[in-house]
Structure 1
Amino acid sequence: MAVHLLVTTTTPDRESGAKLAGSAVAARLAATAQVTGPVSSFFRHLGEQGEGEEWNVTFKTTDARYAELEAHIIEQHPWSKPEVTAIELARGSADYLRWVETATSPEA
């Protein structure tokens, strides 16, 4: 059975989040992606504390497609060092997880 992942990044606006979501799904790197926000972000960057508005982008994929998805996000992202994180899904309905596998299969 495949390992299923929830991959996240943030973007500065809805449009760039939607572009990442759409291009990843079109390339079959993610079965689905959601863009939510805006959210308030508090961070430390370049030695300074900051605050800003961001949009969350969440992708569902498999471990087999993670490296390509990560590279795609980094290449297409408007920021030079974007957050790309993943957590393994411990559980999920069997039909849904099979769909994620099928939708991200490069052979389909």
Structure 2
Amino acid sequence: MNEEYCMVITTIAGGEEAEELAEGILANRLAACVQMTGIRSFFLWEGEVQRETEMLLLIKTTTGRYNALESYISEYHPYDVPEIIRIPVTAGLSGYLSWLSSTTAFPG
């Protein structure tokens, strides 16, 4: 396949916020799938160790939709500096990757 795929990771504080973000991502065809799970995060922020309960979102999309997805997350995410990390997908089941392409394509 000529098209490239990626998974994007972000975290967000609450389940309701995570669901709203995921639904907006899907409604705008920025990804084909968003999975979420609860995690406990430890990180340095403004010189202090932070301990937070968050939701981890694993977002499956194409590299062609990445910039729009990053912009969407940046606009609708409540954090000042949200985690947005793109991980390349170098291989996968061809049927699944085809589904990713068709789901994120603009209609028409």
Structure 1 length normalisation: TM-score? 0.95
Aligned match of 2:93: 93
The number of residues matched between the two structures is 107
1:52, distance to aligned residue in structure 2 (A): 1.0
Aligned match of 2:21: 20
Counterpart code for 2:29: R
1:91, distance to aligned residue in structure 2 (A): 1.2
Counterpart code for 2:24: S
CA distance in 2 between counterparts of 1:21 and 1:33 reads: 6
Residue segments in structure 2 that go unaligned for 5+ positions in a row:
none
Alignment map for 1:1-108 (pairs within 5 Å): 1-37=2-38, 39-108=39-108
Sequence identity, in percent?
A: 36
- Give 4+ residue runs of structure 1 displaced > 4 Å after superposition: none
Aligned CA RMSD, in angstroms, stands at 0.9
Residue segments in structure 1 that go unaligned for 5+ positions in a row:
none
1:107, distance to aligned residue in structure 2 (A): 3.4
1:28, distance to aligned residue in structure 2 (A): 0.4
1:50, distance to aligned residue in structure 2 (A): 1.3
1:97, distance to aligned residue in structure 2 (A): 0.1
1:80, distance to aligned residue in structure 2 (A): 1.5
